[in-house]
Structure 1
Amino acid sequence: MPEPFVVIGGDAAGLSAASKCKRESPDRDVIVFEKGQWVSYAHCGEPYFVKGEVDKLENLLSLTPADIEERDIDLRRGHEVVAVDPDAGTVTVEGPNGKFEQPYGDLLVATGARAVTGPIEGHELDGAFPLHGLDDAAAIRAFLLDPSEDALADVGGEDFVDRERVERFGAMTAPETAAIVGGGYVGVEMAEALSAHSLDVHVFQRSGHLLSPFGEAVGEAVAEELREQGVTLHLGEEVERLAGDGRVERLECEGGTALDIDLAVVGVGVVPNTDLLDGTEVELGADGAVAVDEYGETSVDGIYAAGDCAKDDHTVTGESAWVPLGLTANRAGRAVGTTVASDPTPVGSVAGTAVVKAFEQECGRVGLLEDGAREAGFDPVSETITTRSRSGYYPGAAETTVTLVADRASERLLGGTIVGTDRAAVRIDTVATALEADMTVDELERADLAYAPPFSPVWDPILVAAKVLNGKLKD
C-alpha cells in the first residue's frame, strides 16, 4: 500500500484533487492539511456577502467538513504545513497538539495566494482590511452594522468564523466614509458592495484607469459607471499611508492628496503562498509561483502544485504564466487527483478568461491585449467596436463594446475584451473558445453564432468586432 496522498490546502485545488483521487482510488489514504477553519469556499462571492446579496457565510461553502468526511478524506483543519522534505518524503506539520512529521507518497501543494497590503503604511490599523478570506468578509460586514445589532447572527458561519474578530468590529461605530485602495477586481466589486450600505465611497488607483488587465475601453466604461453611481475616483493617485490612533482615520497619497476616512479596503493584488518550499529543489518562477509540467508536477518527482500558488501554460503564448483564477484551480486540482490515482491527465492551459461586474456594467477579458501581445513577440493589431446586444427593435437592447486583438502576420486571434449592461460578460466565452481552437480572425468571423431578437442581433457583437478587425488586417 503506498504512502498517503497528502494535500496542503483545503480549498478549490486541494479538495478537487483529494476528492478525485479518492473517487478513482478509494483504497488510497488521502490527507488534507488546512491551516485555517474554512474549507472549500467561494472567494469570488465575498464582495456579494459584504453587500448583503449573499445572506450567510455558510452559503459560500461548496463542501462542509462533514461532506468531506463522507468522502472518506482525512481533513485536518487548524494544521499548518511549515516545511517539506522531499528526500525523506515528509512534511512538517504544526497542529493543535504540537509539531509532527507526516510521510507522503505523493504531495500536492495547493496553498493558494495571500493578499498584498504593503508597502502601504498603516494597513494593520483597525478598520483597514484586505479581502482575501471569509474571516475578512465577516469582519467587514460586522463593521458595517449598527452596534446594537447581533453581528454573529448576521454573518453566520458560527462553527468556523473568527468570533472574537466579528464581535469586536460589530461593537464599533459603523463607518461613513470608505477608501478602496486599488481599482482591480476587488476594488470595483467592493465599491458596489459598500455603496449598497450608503457609505461615501472613494477608489484610489495608482494607474490612470480602472481594471488595467481589461484594457482602456473597459476601464473607461467602468469609471463612468462608478461615477454615475456616486463613487468618487482618484485615478493616478498612489496611496502612501493610512493613519490613525489605533483605528484608521485618514488616508494620505504621495502627491499630497489626503482624505478623512473610517474604513479602508486594501486590494492591490496577491502573491503565491510558497514560503514552505524554501530550501527545497522545487523550482519557482520570478513571481514566486511554482513551475509545473503539463500534469501539474513540479521539478521534484512526486510533488505537484495547483491553484493560485502554481503556474500554467498560457493558451496563446505557450509559455508558463501565473494567472490565479477559480476555474483554473478547480480544473488543475481535479487533473492532479486523477494523475495521482494512476491515470495521467493534463491540467490544461489558461487563457486568463475573467469577468467582473461593476454595478450594471458587465466586463470580460481573455488572452492578450496589445501591450501583452507585443511583449510576447507578436505584432498586434486591434479594433474596438460598439454595437447593440439585441436586435434594435427588441426591448432591452444595450450598447456593447468589444475589443479584439490579432497578430498581423498570422492573423491569429490573440485576445479580447467586452463591456456592456446586457449579458455582455458571458459573450467573452466565445472569444475564449476561439483562442483554445487557435482560430484566425477570419475563422471567428465565419462562426455560426445563434440569432434571435431577444438574444442577439443577426451579427453578434463578437462577429461584428471580428468582421471589422478582419477588414483592418486585409488593408
Structure 2
Amino acid sequence: MDPFVVVGGDAAGLSAASKCRRESDREVIVFERGQWISYAHCGTPYFVKGSVDRLTDLLSLSPAAAEERGIDLRRGHEVVSVDAEDRTVTVRTDDERFEQPYAELLVATGASAVTGPFDRGLDGVFSLHGLDDAAAIDAYLAAPEEYDPDRLGDGPVDRDRVDHNAALEPPDRAVIVGGGYVGVEMAEALTARGVDVHLYQRSAHLLVPFGTAVGEGVESELRDRGVTVHTDTEVDAVVGDGRVEAVRVDGDERPVDMALVGVGVEPNTALLDGTGVDRGPSGAIRTDEYGRTNLPAVYAAGDVATARHAVTGAETWVPLGLTANRAGRAVGSTVAGDPTPVGGVAGTAVVKAFDLECGRVGLVDTEAAAAAGFDPVSETITAGSRSGYYPGSEDTTVTLVADRTTGRTLGGAIVGRDRAAVRIDTLATAIGGGLTVAELERLDLAYAPPFSPVWDPILVAAKVVNGRLSE
C-alpha cells in the first residue's frame, strides 16, 4: 500500500501523522517545506516580550522525536502540486524534484499573515507568523551591543535575517496596524521592550470578535499602560527608503521606525489550485465532518480547512490552535481505520492585554446571530470575581447572548483581571452541550470565597438573560 502523505509539519499535520502511526502500522511521510516543525505560534509574542527565555522553548515536538514515532519526516521538501487522479504529489527540494505516490493525502499547509499594501521590503516592517519572524523582531528590538544570540536556542533559525536585524539601531516608536489578537499581544510585548507604541484599528473598537464591552475594556487598559490607541483610523501605507520612516494616515506622514502588521491571516490553499477542490469561507478548503475534501482520498485540516460552526451548523473558517490539533488527530484516526469526526468549532478564544484577560465563544454579535436565523437577546453584566470581602476580587464583565425562541445559549464574552479568561470555558461547555440559559443558570458551579462569589459572574449573566427571555 502507498503511504499516508501529509503536507505540513505543524499542528494538524504532525497530530495526524502521530495518531496514524500510533493506531496502525501504516507508512507515514510528512513533507515540510521549511525547517521548523510543531511549534507554539501563540507563544511568539511572549518570546518577543521576554517572558519566554529561548525561541526553542516554543517547540512542541523535535524532528528526532517525530522520527522516534516512526514518522518519515522530510524537512526542506516543498510539495508544489497534487495530481488527485493519479494520487501523486510533486515534491521539490534544493537538489531534486520527484513524484511521490500516496494512498491518502492530508493537506495541512496552515495559513499566512496578510500584509496588504504594507509589504515593501523595508527594514523595520514585520508581520508575526512563525519563529523566524519572532527571532527577527527580537533582534531588531535589541541594541546591537546588547543583543543576546543565545535567546535563539539551537533551532534552525534564519541566521542571516537575525544578524541583519541585530545590526540595526533599535526602534524608539512603533506602529501596530490592526487591533486583533496579534496587535493587542504585541502592544504589550513592545511596551515591555521600552518602545513607544501606537496601535491603529480601522473599526470602532479593538478585538472585534469579542464584542464592544471587551474591546472598550482593552482599549482603556492599553491607554493606561502607555499605548496610544487610534480607533476608526486606517493606515494607508508605510513610507521609507531602505528602512521604515513613517506611516501615512489620512494623507499625513507620522514618523516611526518600526511597523508591525497584524491585519489577519489567509489559508495556504495554492497547492490545490487547478485540482477542482471545493472551497468555502475565506477561500479555505471545504471539508466534511471527517476532514475529507471533494477530491478522492484527499483530506484537509487546520488553518487551511473549513469546519462546522457549533451554534449555527454552517460552514465556517476559524484558524485556531486547538481546532488544528484536534482535526489533525481525527484525520489520523480515520486514515488508520477508525473513522473519527473532526468536531465542530465555536470560535472559543482567549487573549491577554497586560493584566486584562478576555474570552469569547459562539455568537457574540447580535446582528450575526439574527442573520443565522435566531432571535437574539443580549445582556452585559458586571460582577465580582470572588466574594467581596475576600482580597483580590475584581470586576468581571460578561456579555451573554441567547435565542429568545428556544432559550438556547448562543455565545458570550468576558473581560476582567482575576481569572476571567478561563471562565469562558463554562460558556463553551454550555454551547457544546446545547444548554439553554435556564439550564446554564442552574449549573452547580463551585463556590468558595477565594475562587468565586456564591453566584459566579457567568451565573449572574444567565439569570439576567433568562429574565429577559420571558419579557
Q: Smaller-chain TM-score range?
A: over 0.9
Q: Which amino acid aligns with 1:233?
A: V
3-state SS in 2 of match to 1:119: helix
Q: Which structure 2 segments of 5+ residues have no match?
A: none
- The superposition leaves residues 244-285 of structure 1 with CA deviations (integer Å, 9 ceiling, x where unpaired) of 0111110012x2343211111000000000011011122111
C-alpha separation in 2, matches of 1:224 and 1:149 = 33
3-state SS in 2 of match to 1:448: coil
2:14–2:328 CA contact under 8 A, matched in 1: yes
1:428 has 2:428 as partner: no
2:281–2:315 CA contact under 8 A, matched in 1: no
- The superposition leaves residues 74-105 of structure 1 with CA deviations (integer Å, 9 ceiling, x where unpaired) of 11111111111000100111112221111000
Q: Which amino acid aligns with 2:258?
A: L
1:178–1:264 CA contact under 8 A, matched in 2: yes
2:280–2:316 CA contact under 8 A, matched in 1: no
Q: Which amino acid aligns with 2:414?
A: I
C-alpha separation in 1, matches of 2:407 and 2:23 = 43
**1:318 aligned residue:** 313
C-alpha separation in 2, matches of 1:268 and 1:230 = 22
1:14 has 2:13 as partner: yes
1:71 has 2:69 as partner: yes
C-alpha separation in 2, matches of 1:285 and 1:338 = 24
C-alpha separation in 1, matches of 2:38 and 2:312 = 31
How far residue 185 of structure 1 moved from its aligned partner, in angstroms, is 0.1
**1:469 aligned residue:** 465
What does 1:81-100 align with in structure 2 at a 5 Å threshold? 81-100=79-98
1:180–1:187 CA contact under 8 A, matched in 2: yes
2:55–2:151 CA contact under 8 A, matched in 1: no
**2:134 aligned residue:** 137
How far residue 151 of structure 1 moved from its aligned partner, in angstroms, is 4.4
What does 1:412-451 align with in structure 2 at a 5 Å threshold? 412-451=408-447
- The superposition leaves residues 305-353 of structure 1 with CA deviations (integer Å, 9 ceiling, x where unpaired) of 0000001111000111100100000000000000000110010000000
User: What TM-score, normalized to structure 2?
Assistant: 0.98
Q: Which amino acid aligns with 1:179?
A: V
- The superposition leaves residues 222-262 of structure 1 with CA deviations (integer Å, 9 ceiling, x where unpaired) of 00000000000111111110000111110012x23432111
**1:293 aligned residue:** 288
What does 1:11-410 align with in structure 2 at a 5 Å threshold? 11-25=10-24, 27-120=25-118, 122-157=119-154, 159-253=155-249, 255-369=250-364, 370-410=366-406
C-alpha separation in 1, matches of 2:243 and 2:13 = 36
1:200–1:231 CA contact under 8 A, matched in 2: yes
Q: Which amino acid aligns with 1:330?
A: N
Q: Which amino acid aligns with 1:378?
A: F
2:34–2:77 CA contact under 8 A, matched in 1: yes
- The superposition leaves residues 416-459 of structure 1 with CA deviations (integer Å, 9 ceiling, x where unpaired) of 00000000000000000000011111110011100000000000
Q: Which amino acid aligns with 1:398?
A: E
How far residue 374 of structure 1 moved from its aligned partner, in angstroms, is 1.7
C-alpha separation in 1, matches of 2:368 and 2:22 = 40
How far residue 146 of structure 1 moved from its aligned partner, in angstroms, is 1.1
- The superposition leaves residues 348-375 of structure 1 with CA deviations (integer Å, 9 ceiling, x where unpaired) of 0000000000001000000002122122
Q: Which amino acid aligns with 2:22?
A: R
C-alpha separation in 2, matches of 1:328 and 1:19 = 16
How far residue 153 of structure 1 moved from its aligned partner, in angstroms, is 2.2
C-alpha separation in 2, matches of 1:30 and 1:154 = 33
- The superposition leaves residues 16-38 of structure 1 with CA deviations (integer Å, 9 ceiling, x where unpaired) of 0000000111x211000111110
3-state SS in 1 of match to 2:401: strand
Q: Which amino acid aligns with 1:401?
A: T
C-alpha separation in 1, matches of 2:361 and 2:279 = 25
C-alpha separation in 1, matches of 2:374 and 2:281 = 23
1:312–1:322 CA contact under 8 A, matched in 2: yes
Give me the CA root mean square deviation: 0.9
3-state SS in 2 of match to 1:101: strand
Q: Which amino acid aligns with 1:126?
A: D
1:123–1:129 CA contact under 8 A, matched in 2: no
How far residue 288 of structure 1 moved from its aligned partner, in angstroms, is 1.1
Seen in structure 2, the aligned counterparts of structure 1 residues 123 and 462 have a Cα distance that, compared at 3 Å, is: farther
C-alpha separation in 1, matches of 2:92 and 2:326 = 29
3-state SS in 2 of match to 1:13: helix
C-alpha separation in 2, matches of 1:45 and 1:382 = 33
Q: Which amino acid aligns with 1:96?
A: D
C-alpha separation in 1, matches of 2:148 and 2:393 = 42
C-alpha separation in 1, matches of 2:390 and 2:369 = 38
C-alpha separation in 2, matches of 1:250 and 1:422 = 38
C-alpha separation in 1, matches of 2:86 and 2:113 = 32
Stretch of structure 1 that moved more, 76-85 or 457-466 = 76-85
Seen in structure 2, the aligned counterparts of structure 1 residues 435 and 123 have a Cα distance that, compared at 3 Å, is: farther
2:4–2:103 CA contact under 8 A, matched in 1: yes
